[in-house]
Structure 1
Amino acid sequence: MAHELAHFLLHRDRIGAGLDDDRAYRSTEVGAYYNTEISSREEAEANRLAATILMPAALVRRECEYSASVDALAKRFQVSRQAMDIRLSTLGIQLPTESAA
């Protein structure tokens, strides 16, 4: 939902009748609302804003002091491990996954 909210906030002038995103949150031709106005650039922008909404940098940094792994941090923020992994990478933070911990 944060990704779709980000589209509304950032790209409302391009949404038109709506959007159809696949599981990877990429605009897709499947569905009633395929939108050629939304490119991979806009999808990446929506992903970045969604990450900022769900995983604010200051909170992630603070929680890293108490979480020993990416998996624990993802659970704490109620996001996927992949989403947390990407967020940590953009913040320049490295933590092990539980399997590596």
Structure 2
Amino acid sequence: MARADAAARELLTRFGIEQPPVNPVLLAEKLDVLVVHQEMKDDVSGMLLRRDEQRVIGVNENHAPTRQRFTVAHELGHLLLHRGRPLILDTQTRVNLRNTVSSMATDREEIEANRFAAALLAPEAMVRREVRTVHFQAVDDLVEQLATKFEMSQTAMYYRLLNLGIVSDPN
């Protein structure tokens, strides 16, 4: 099991979360992380700031709610898995920024944070359990129903199902 998957599973187990939808903001609060919704450039989804014991996740308030949820989960992944990059202000602060480049997942830490977010919002055991209970005629029906149940975008859910081997790539 990948480190990101294990970290997501451990967090869910730690707080006794067994049913969808997983609330990443509530998990952040339980970890003493402040989540702030604010205006940001459209190509920035969110960021994680760490300074001493203070931890803040900033989320682009103009993005769709499903994207905001994924962003919070993604930033929690950075918090739990990565040190962050230094940003020099008046004092040294570490920051992870989620923008258009990071969402393309070409950087190892971004790939890992995306994997953590997917595993946190749609844990494999929960997804497999729900797949067995959903009545669907086509993959699009399955994706739509599960996206609603897990409060994710249909695109994110499709990729989660693809990565879990539940659906196959039509290409």
Q: TM-score, normalised by structure 2?
A: 0.44
Regions of 4+ moved over 4 Å: none
Give the alignment partner of residue 19 of structure 1, picking from 68, 92, 96: 96
Task: State the superposition RMSD in angstroms.
Answer: 2.0
* Contact 1:25–1:43 (CA under 8 A) maintained in structure 2: no
Q: Secondary structure at the match of 1:52?
A: helix
Max Rg structure: 2
Give the alignment partner of residue 129 of structure 2, picking from 62, 87, 90: 62
Q: Does 1:8 align with 2:79?
A: yes
Name the structure with the higher strand share: 2
Aligned partner letter, 1:46: A
Q: Does 1:51 align with 2:111?
A: no
Aligned residues: 82
- Structure 2: stretches of 5+ with no match in the other structure: 1-71, 87-93, 137-141
- Rounded Cα–Cα distance in structure 1 between residues aligned with 2:97 and 2:117: 17
Sequence identity (%): 45
- Structure 1: stretches of 5+ with no match in the other structure: 28-38, 96-101
